[in-house]
Amino acid sequence: MLNAKPTLKSTLKALLYLAPLLIITLLFTVWPLIHALLMSSYVRYNYFTNHVGALGWDNFVYLWHDPLFHLALRNTLWLVLVAMPVTVALALLIALGLNHIPRLARFFQTIYFLPFVTATIATGLVWNWIFRLDGGLLNVSLHHLGIAPIDWLNDPHVALLALIVVCVWQGLGFNVVLFLAGLNRIDDKYARVAQLDGANAWQRFTNVTWPLLLPMTVLIVINTAVTNFKVFDQAFALFHGAAGPGNAALTLMFYLYQKFYVDNQFTVAAASGVVLFCLVGLLTLLTYGYFRWQRRRLGGRS
């Protein structure tokens, strides 16, 4: 049955099964995307009456000249470039560790997964308390180490770092679970054969585990990068509805929110969404291309 040649009837039947999800995707994902793309080209647009004055590149020109957008872009790129590798590396380390303690693995998996399923607003409030200048857990700990307290949330020099820490922490659990799933799929025989050939633990990791884990790593890297490109609620909860002191933790999504809901610049918000979409797409393609090249280099199928 599974190997049967597809016919018009079987295709239609399959489409019928897929229809609910397809309709939802088209209605709530594809159409808003097209609409945002169109809106980004509207000039003198009345959002409420749908009156379009003209079409053009004005919104993108606005972004090109807006220092606030530049700041948001810079901060977002920093966030992705720092938080993504740190999250992936930490998740891999933890997963490798958990893989060696199968008895407690489930317990720790649950612990690491908790941040992923907890409401961001709740975790934001907890982190707010951890980072507080007066009596915050982190500053109390630093005090015991003889380090002067740092105003993590109100000092523009460290606010972005605080946000990065929260993003890393929140993304860790999901990635650990994914890495564990990838590790469990690797047959022990390969490692044992390598061991018989005299490979040490590091060589076994670099020559056996890592190449076999590559497809999962691609998924995790792309997923983490996309998640970090879209950081908004973490910043909103951490900085009490602001984008950090003096916009020090302004992200692209926060910029979009401000333009749409605070400034009523709907078309500029749409244009910034398009830029964000292009950035995410570009990064995904680059990552995918790089790992494909890596896989070919390691002797896998291209």
Partner 1 sequence: MKKLSRYLLIMAALGLVGVLGACGRQTTAPAPTKRTTVTFWHGMTGTSQQTLNAMIRDFNHSQTKYRVVASGQGNFANVQQKITAAAKSQTLPTLAQTTYTNVPDYLHGKFIVPLNGYITKRTLNRIDPTLRQVSQYHGKTYAMPFSKSIGLLFYNQDLLRQLHLTVPRTWNDLARDAAKAHANGYTGLALDQTFRPQWSALACQAGTPLVAKHPQLSSPRMLAATDVIYQMIKHQTAATAGTDGFGNVRFLKGKTLFYTGTSAAIGIMQANTPKGLHWSAAKMPSFRGNPRVYAVQGNELVMFSSASPAQRRGAAALMKFLLAEKQTLKWAKATGYLPLTTKALRSQDYRDYLAKNPAAKATVKSLPYGKPDTAFYGYSETQDAATQVADELAALQTTPKQGLAQLQRKLTALQTDGE
Q: Interface residues with partner 1 (CB under 8 A)?
A: 46-49, 68, 128, 132, 151, 153-154, 156, 238-242, 245-248, 258, 260-265
Give the integer Cα–Cα distance in Å for 25 and 19: 10
> Which residues, listed in sequence order, are joined to residue 55 by a DSSP beta bridge?
42
Among 105, 108, 112, 111, smallest CA distance to 87 is for 112
Q: How far is the CB of 115 from partner 1 (least distance, A)?
A: 20
Give the integer Cα–Cα distance in Å for 147 and 139: 8
Give whichever of 154 and 207 is closer to partner 1, judged by the CB atom.
Answer: 154
> CB–CB of 239/159 below 8 Å?
yes
Give whichever of 162 and 279 is closer to partner 1, judged by the CB atom.
Answer: 162
Q: How far is the CB of 231 from partner 1 (least distance, A)?
A: 17
Q: How far is the CB of 264 from partner 1 (least distance, A)?
A: 6
Sign of CA dihedral 120, 221, 169, 174: positive
Give whichever of 209 and 234 is closer to partner 1, judged by the CB atom.
Answer: 234
Q: How far is the CB of 261 from partner 1 (least distance, A)?
A: 5
Give whichever of 155 and 277 is closer to partner 1, judged by the CB atom.
Answer: 155
Q: How far is the CB of 147 from partner 1 (least distance, A)?
A: 20
What b/e readout covers 2-36, taking b as 16+ CB neighbours within 10 angstroms? Answer: eeeeeeeeeeeeeeeeeeeeeeeeeeeeeeeeeeb
Q: How far is the CB of 151 from partner 1 (least distance, A)?
A: 8
Q: How far is the CB of 146 from partner 1 (least distance, A)?
A: 22
How many Cβ atoms sit within 10 Å of the Cβ of residue 196? Answer: 8
At which residue do the structure tokens 């793309």 appear? 37
Q: Which helix (H) or strand (E) holds 52?
A: strand 51-55
> Which residues, listed in sequence order, are joined to residue 45 by a DSSP beta bridge?
52
Give whichever of 45 and 112 is closer to partner 1, judged by the CB atom.
Answer: 45
Q: How far is the CB of 49 from partner 1 (least distance, A)?
A: 6
Give the integer Cα–Cα distance in Å for 3 and 5: 6
Q: What single string gives the DSSP state of each residue in 147-210? A: PPP--TTT-TTTHHHHHHHHHHHHHHHHHHHHHHHHHHTS-HHHHHHHHHTT--HHHHIIIIIH
Give whichever of 56 and 300 is closer to partner 1, judged by the CB atom.
Answer: 56
Give whichever of 174 and 236 is closer to partner 1, judged by the CB atom.
Answer: 236
Give the integer Cα–Cα distance in Å for 116 and 232: 15
Give whichever of 60 and 288 is closer to partner 1, judged by the CB atom.
Answer: 60
Backbone phi and psi for residue 53, each to the nearest 5 degrees, phi listed first: -75, -45
